[in-house]
Amino acid sequence: MPHTLSIIIPVYNEAATIEELLRRVFMVDLGDWEREVVVVDDGSVDGTPRLLQEAKKVLDFKLLKHAHNRGKGASVRSGLLVATGQAVLVQDADLEYDPQDIPKLLEPFGQGCQAVFGSRMIKHTQGGYPHYILGAKLLTWVINLLFHTKLTDPYTCYKLIDAEIIKRLQLEARGFEFEAELVAKLLRQGGKIVEVGVSYSPRKFSEGKKIRPRDAYRGLLTIWRVWRS
């Protein structure tokens, strides 16, 4: 009996990329895995809602809608409520991460690993704004210090996790601090994480990049709160 991978795609004002992203997600060869795609429109006010309705005419995916923008974490949690696969992967809609890398994460997962992260640092492809790179390194250092790990990129978007495990983490974050909460709670519960190298093509603010320096501060607070709890 084939396993199913639930790919959750949170979307907020991504009219420039959502069509191409969906095309790539449905084109990638997942081998023996079935594909379940869950798109969560997080209150988009550009052309995204119209494009998603058009895409649904030719592509088979679940579409959820938030009445107003609630944040990436809230969108992923909404997607988890309807995801039915044995494994879950979050896919950003901005094309910074290439769906062609998904099979690389599935390979160790299929060998018994319950959490696989796609590291931008293993292939040394992480670029973009210098202060963002510094922030990611700081968050990585804090996580490794507190949880006694040797992760290279815990703040990556590409986290492939056993569905039962992620659903019992009781995630609460609404914004980008979701990434910190997920990895901290996973490690606190004794989860073992394997990393594989993935490609990364960072975009600029002028192209719609949304994460801000304040999100790193919120991430640090989240990591500390989970570690202390």
Which structural domains are found in the chain, ordered by start?
4-228 (3.90.550.10)
pLDDT at 49 over 80: yes
3-state secondary structure of 39: strand
Per-residue model confidence (pLDDT) at position 169: 94
The structure's pTM equals 0.90
Per-residue model confidence (pLDDT) at position 203: 56
Residue 212 near residue 132 (C-beta atoms within 8 A) = no
pLDDT in tens, 139-180: 899 999 999 999 999 989 999 999 999 999 999 999 888 999
Tokens representing 80 are 């988890």
In this prediction, residues 182-204 reach a mean pLDDT of: 89
